[in-house]
Amino acid sequence: MVEVTISPNRSRLPDILAGTFAWGAACIIVGMFFWLLAGIVPRGLGQLTWGFLTGVPEDAGRAGGIGPIIVSTAWILAVCMAVALPVGLGTAILLAEFAATDGRLGWVVRRSLDVLAGIPSIVFGLFGSALFCRWLGLGFSILSGGLTLACMVLPILIRATEEGFRSVPDEIRLGAAALGLSRTRTIFSLLLPAALPGLVAGSILGIGRAVAETAALLFTSGYVDRMPGSLFDSGRSLSIHIYDLSMNVPGGDANACATAVLLIAALLVINATVAGITGRWRRSFGRLGV
């Protein structure tokens, strides 16, 4: 009988290498984030005053504030979520509760969502310009921009909401059927409240993508930096304002950095909210043994 002796140091070598690689990759990501902040925050933080947040752009954006830009961004997001939420919720209910997992309809819808999730945003911008701006006659407007962003966030919203419905224990469905509840009442009275964290998380992630979008809005919502009077007016989003000041306006870097700091802060709040909702959701279902 041959005895094989393995050195303890040699057996630990793969674990050490894997741990080093994982920590190194994480440090690179964190370093890139703080490098980005180091280049923007010192130049823009001093510009963030109440007057800057509420004032109107002056001298092509070199002076003044971003009040109309914030209002236009809020309106674009409102249109986006007003359209995406009902469509996304309905599609998620179809995929989770009515379409069989291995059925042809479910397969086609899921593959379509996968393709939509991978399409570059500039392609959505060209699509929105052709459909909403020209074919429907909406022109460069907040409405066109919001509808285009709704098409972009649907894959994220639908998948998150579908997973929320699928995470609900089947015992709830069986109990509702045993009590004679209709399928519609079961979905909206029992399943939807249980899946609500998934819907909220998907909505906030969609908002996070929409608020940072630039390419799609260049072709749909336009460049105008004045206060919008209606949804049919052109409106400039925060991301487009940053792009315009950085690329087209000499001397606009300071206000561009200040706007970027505000946008990054909004994204951090959005992602922290998603993390909190997801963590609470997992803990609640963990107590249920799911």
pLDDT single digits (tens) 217-242: 989 998 888 888 889 999 899 999 99
Domain-located, residue 20: no
- Domain-embedded: residue 93: yes
What average pLDDT is seen over the chain? 85
Q: Is the pLDDT of residue 158 over 50?
A: yes
Q: Is residue 56 a part of any domain in this protein? A: no
In a domain? residue 40 = no
pLDDT in tens, 78-128: 999 999 999 999 999 988 888 766 678 888 888 888 888 888 888 999 999
At 61 the pLDDT is 83
Residue 4 within a domain: no
Question: Into how many domains does the chain fold?
Answer: 1
Q: Is the pLDDT of residue 212 over 70?
A: yes
The whole-number pLDDT of residue 284 equals: 62
CATH number of domain containing 98 = 1.10.3720.10
**Of 73, 88, 82, 194, which Cα lies nearest the Cα of 145?**
73
**Within-domain flag for 48:** no
pLDDT at position 7 over 80: no
Provide the pLDDT for residue 11. Answer: 62
Residue 54 forms part of a structural domain: no
Residue 21 in any domain: the answer is no
Which residue segment(s) compose the domain that 93 sits in?
A: 67-287
Q: Which of 145-154, 178-187, 266-275, 280-289 has the lowest mean pLDDT?
A: 280-289
Contact between residue 97 and residue 183 where contact means Cβ atoms under 8 Å apart: yes
In whole angstroms, what separates CA 177 from the centre of its chain?
A: 36
